[in-house]
Chain A
Amino acid sequence: MTAPDDGRFHELIGYKEDVFRICLGFSRNIADAEDLCQDAFLKAFARARDLRQPGSLRIWLLRIARTTCLDHSRRMRRNPIDLADVVPDTAADPRSPEIVSEVNESLRRLKAAVQSLPKKQREVFVLREYGGLSYEDLARVLKLRPGTVMSRLNRARRAITAAMKEEGHERK
């Protein structure tokens, strides 16, 4: 596997934070997200020659990131998320242990809720809420109509909200 020419290489690398945010949304923790981000770029470099419309480089790259993350999610879906997966290292956190614990538990619940979403809703939710994509970009990445994107996003948000409330009540 080799890199594309220097210009395209640097252009691709310029989107690394966009890709990382999406990977973070799909994965359980930051370390996994970094690995996924790396995998996505390796795939992108390998397929750089297939790109027919250089103008849509970002969309093309985000599509690859999405596919890479969904493959990873499929492999990991059978394993339930526990706190150690989501926050492997809390010793270095300067906040008080109570706050850290509460934040981490909220994060674990969110991760579990995202992972429990159907694939179509999960990808829309992550691309929008983590990746910060516009509805238009979402529609282009997923090759859907903007209306469909919004519909799926709506259902995903409802499901996430319900799951977070449900878990919160269970804890109380």
Chain B
Amino acid sequence: MNENDTGKPLLDMPEKVRLIIQRETEDGLRRFRAGNFDSRLQAVGRIRPEETKFAPSPFSRVWIPIFGLAVGAIVIISAVLWVSRAKSQLPAANPVTIDAALDALPGFRTLSLFHQTETAENEDFSPAAAMSAAVTSATRSAAAWKETSAPPSGNLVPRYSLEQKMKILFGDKTIEQALSLFKEKFKEV
């Protein structure tokens, strides 16, 4: 009889229980030996001695997938960054500057015409006068309006600097049209 770590003597197994276990084990082993376990194991189809490849080690089972995922994530993020950067560097299909957009406004074209034909000698620029001239010109003739809706020629528009155009815009409701025009174009600019 041994002693356990509590100092008490180790209890022996009752004989009856020992006999039950012994009988069960003998019956089981007899049947187990008759069953030809080796063949059964190989018949499962997954165990064949000739297939002597080893299962992957725990290191490769854990770290290879993690490494693969990390590389995949880096590649995807790099691709996204590259595409977004390349896209931002592409020139707009039809770049529009503020100056050109202002030139496209009807009020400035008529203003330019007015300025060219009637006040060419006047060197001083008055925003109020220019605005009234534009309004007058715009309301004078619808036909003239349509004629001036064509793209401006190089000689008419550059008479006003951008600063002058902005001064006119701030005193005119034309700014609403300008802003609505820019709304769609700003990103391209």
Contact = CB atoms under 8 A, between A and B. Distances in A.
Is chain A's interface secondary structure helix, strand, loop, or mixed overall?
Answer: helix
B37 A34 contact: yes
Contact of A16 (B10, B17, B37, B48): B37
B28 A154 contact: no
A59 interface: no
Interface in B77-129: none
A37 B37 contact: yes
Contact of B46 (A1, A50, A151, A158): A1
Interface string A28-53: 00100110011001100111111000
Interface residues of B, number: 43
A41 B24 CA distance: 22
A30 B47 contact: no
Interface string A44-82: 011111100000000000000000000000000000000
How many interface residues does chain A have, given as a range?
35 or more
21 contacts: A2-B51, A3-B51, A5-B52, A16-B37, A16-B38, A20-B29, A30-B31, A30-B32, A42-B44, A46-B55, A48-B54, A48-B55, A106-B16, A110-B24, A129-B13, A129-B18, A130-B21, A150-B2, A153-B10, A154-B8, A154-B10
Given A21-B28, A147-B5, 8 more contacts: A13-B38, A21-B29, A34-B40, A48-B54, A154-B6, A157-B11, A157-B12, A160-B17
